[in-house]
Amino acid sequence: MIHFNNSGCGLLARPVLKAMIDHLVLESRIGGYEAAAAQAERVSDFHASIAELIGCHARNIAFAGSATQAYTNALSAIPFQRGDVILTTRNDFISNQIAFLSLRKRFGVDVVHAPDHPDGSGVDVAAMVKLMRELRPRLVAVTHVPTNSGLVQPVEAIGRHVRELDLLYLVDACQSVGQYPIDVHQIGCDLLTATCRKFLRGPRGSGFLYVSDRVLNDGYEPLFIDMYGARWVAPGQYRPVNSAQRFEEWEFPYSVVLGCAAARALRAARGIGQHRGAHTGAWCLPT
Ligand SMILES: Cc1ncc(COP(=O)(O)O)c(C=O)c1O
């Protein structure tokens, strides 16, 4: 039997493990707050290196404990009302769909699934665009690479129409970040979520949310924003910070964040993310 023991969760490289253990040791020696202050620059490397990977600015990146946490946090920022439509596909991630059903149960939103193209290439973009025009969905939500079918959804083609119609676009890129080239501006998404534990080979319990400037400027904020994401400016008033930090919380698993930053640095050092396989277009190792 050959066990492909990297697909659900990449095996940690030694420098990643070392970065995490070193930080835990530092915390035990000088205290968690002091250790975080000492490593502040390397923590910000996390945001900068993820931003570089997907073509945005560090201010657009929020750390999250998982792709699902990033996704539900993003959903919580949308003030859904009864009758609002979430337009999605028939090949989405199960937890996203359960979250949509939960929104349906609590707020009465409608969940509409665009049909697949008969040729098996994924969602039928023309049919999806027709639904966008007819229903004016509050949210268009697409999973780029669904979990286990090998399908790659045409997120850029969908994004062009979403932008034309000025709708809100959330992309689950959990299975594509690190495996495929991702450029959030080419995709045209407002929000994008991913884990670090798969193709980025970061530790478990890590992921991120991309939040576009458009979304930040329009004032979207997570439902439960905390004192890290907002400033309490007057007795009955708070103001969200100007960056995707508004989607983070004050408390961080610092060793995990540093492990992710180390994984990104290692990837860059090994030249991963510079060569694309001729057949699939996915990243591959330099030959
Ligand atoms: C397409 C897709 N989206 C989201 C997730 C959830 O990621 P996480 O377990 O980090 O919440 C997965 C996990 O395998 C996935 O395959």
Written as six digits, the tokens of 283 are 């990243």
Task: Kindly state if the Cβ of 129 falls inside 6 Å of ligand 1.
Answer: no
The model's pTM is: 0.96
The whole-number average pLDDT for the span 2-18 is: 87
Question: In angstroms, rounded to a whole number, what is the distance separating the alpha carbons of residues 140 and 170?
Answer: 6
pLDDT, residue 287, reads 64
Predicted confidence band of residue 228 (pLDDT cuts 50, 70, 90): very high
For helices 40-54 and 254-269, angle between their N-to-C axes, nearest 10 degrees: 50
The whole-number average pLDDT for the span 4-18 is: 88
Burial class (CB in 10 A: 0-12, 13-18, 19+), 146: buried
The whole-number average pLDDT for the span 267-286 is: 80
E-strand stretches of 129-270 = 139-143, 169-172, 191-195, 207-211, 230-234, 237-240
**Which residues neighbour 102 within 8 Å (Cβ) at sequence distance 6 or greater?**
none
Q: Choose one of 68, 142, 208 to mutate for the ligand 1 pocket test, by most ligand atoms within 8 angstroms of C-beta.
A: 68
Does 125 or 268 have the greater pLDDT score?
A: 125
Written as six digits, the tokens of 48 are 């900068």
Written as six digits, the tokens of 280 are 């699939």
pLDDT, residue 272, reads 81
State pLDDT tens for residues 173-202. Answer: 999 999 999 999 999 999 999 999 999 999
State pLDDT tens for residues 121-163. Answer: 999 999 999 999 999 999 999 999 999 888 999 999 999 999 9
pLDDT, residue 279, reads 76
Interval between CA 239 and ligand 1 midpoint (Å): 31
Question: In angstroms, rounded to a whole number, what is the distance separating the alpha carbons of residues 51 and 208?
Answer: 10
Predicted confidence band of residue 1 (pLDDT cuts 50, 70, 90): confident
Going by C-alpha positions, the residue among 88, 141, 137, 140 that lies closest to residue 115 is 88
Asked which of 169-183, 205-219, 251-265, 266-280 is least confident by mean pLDDT, the reply is 266-280
Q: Is the separation of the CB atoms in 180 and 152 below 8 Å? A: yes
Task: Kindly state if the Cβ of 222 falls inside 6 Å of ligand 1.
Answer: no
Collapse the DSSP code of 194 into the 3-class scheme (helix H, G, I; strand E, B; otherwise coil) and give the result. Answer: strand
The whole-number average pLDDT for the span 263-273 is: 84
Phi, psi (degrees; rounded to nearest 5) at 116: -80, 155
Burial class (CB in 10 A: 0-12, 13-18, 19+), 109: buried
Query: Is residue 8 predicted with pLDDT exceeding 80?
Result: yes
pLDDT, residue 274, reads 77
The whole-number average pLDDT for the span 205-228 is: 98
Q: Which atom of ligand 1 is nearest to the CA of 92?
A: 1
